[in-house]
Amino acid sequence: MALERSSPCKVNLLLNVLGRRADGYHELETIFHPVALCDTLRFERGGNGVSLTCSDPRLPTDASNLVHRAATAFLESAGISDGVRIHLEKRIPLAAGLGGGSGNAATTLSGLNELFGRPLSPVQLQTLAARLGSDVPFFLQDRPALATGRGEHIEPLDFFPALRGRALVLVNPGFGVSTPWAYQQLAAFPEALNGRPGRAGRLLELLGGTDTRAAAAALYNALEAPVLTKYPILALYQEFMRARGALGTLLCGSGSTTFAIAENADAGEELARRFLERFGSNCWTAVVALPGR
């Protein structure tokens, strides 16, 4: 019997870097928001070990794939010697700052746990998730969250009143940005590297109100400093969308996707249409409505 699960992505409404740690990671306060743009994963018992197939030929399907690593970690941790077959239908763009791969890893952990009758506890799944990547634990739940540490300590939150009924317009230039590269470049941007703590508290206060513009003005991502400097086209995308009614814009994670907040889904569709008209069809866009008013 096969089990099929959707694997969503995320944006960061805030990514405040609080300095570089001794282990090479960066200390963060970040606010994740789930985005209902999904890959699909199908799990089935059978065969030997982990066998993975993927709709996107650019993704390796060997042990270097995060889904493969998540499945191997799950089977080892649960002491299961049966094989699993997994198929990944990819829709979320790669190296896009949307956490697609991290989400796939989390969905693999929870999907396999269900397929095998829940041998692992939620805490065990969290521990495996944090080992697979900083963003993976967020995807074990389905709400916005405040994350600290390297991003793996998750405090789930309710959906934000200031974003009710709004839409996110995601725009991607058709090239990816390397996350390790983006973090390394922070060394040249001391203010972005050593952000003042407390930005998360301030933004959460605004997101809890009803003034979308005020909240949008407090969106912040430290990685914009290096990424928009190297890829000025992304800053141009942001200006274009703000000049055409976007309430706010921000780079997603380490990029290359930028998101804009639109008044509603119709305004979002119109913004995406004008964006494609201006910047061409090599770009990728998606409009995602946020939970309603």
| Site residues for ligand C5P per CB under 6 A | 25-26, 28, 133-135, 150-151, 179-180, 183
Active-site residue set: 10, 135
Residue 136 CB, shortest distance to ligand C5P, in Å, is: 7
**Closer residue to ligand C5P, CB minimum distance, 113 or 152:** 152
Query: Alpha-carbon distance 179 to 183, whole Å?
Result: 6
**Closer residue to ligand C5P, CB minimum distance, 252 or 260:** 252
Residue 96 CB, shortest distance to ligand C5P, in Å, is: 14
Query: Rounded to whole angstroms, what are the CA distances from 76 to 10, 83, 152, 157?
Result: 28, 11, 22, 32
What phi and psi, each to the nearest 5 degrees, are found at residue 212?
-60, -40
Per residue, what are the HEC states of 89-150? ECCCCCCCCCCHHHHHHHHHHHHHHHHCCCCCCHHHHHHHHHHHCCCCHHHHCCCCEEEEEC
**Closer residue to ligand C5P, CB minimum distance, 28 or 200:** 28
**C-alpha angle with apex 151: 99 to 137, nearest 5 degrees?**
65
Query: Rounded to whole angstroms, what are the CA distances from 80 to 71, 75, 178?
Result: 11, 5, 34
Residues 6, 38: contact at Cβ < 8 Å?
yes
**Closer residue to ligand C5P, CB minimum distance, 26 or 33:** 26
Residue 106 CB, shortest distance to ligand C5P, in Å, is: 12
Residue 1 CB, shortest distance to ligand C5P, in Å, is: 32
Residue 132 CB, shortest distance to ligand C5P, in Å, is: 8
Phi-psi region of 249 (alpha: psi -120 to 50; beta: other; left: phi over 0): beta
**Closer residue to ligand C5P, CB minimum distance, 39 or 135:** 135
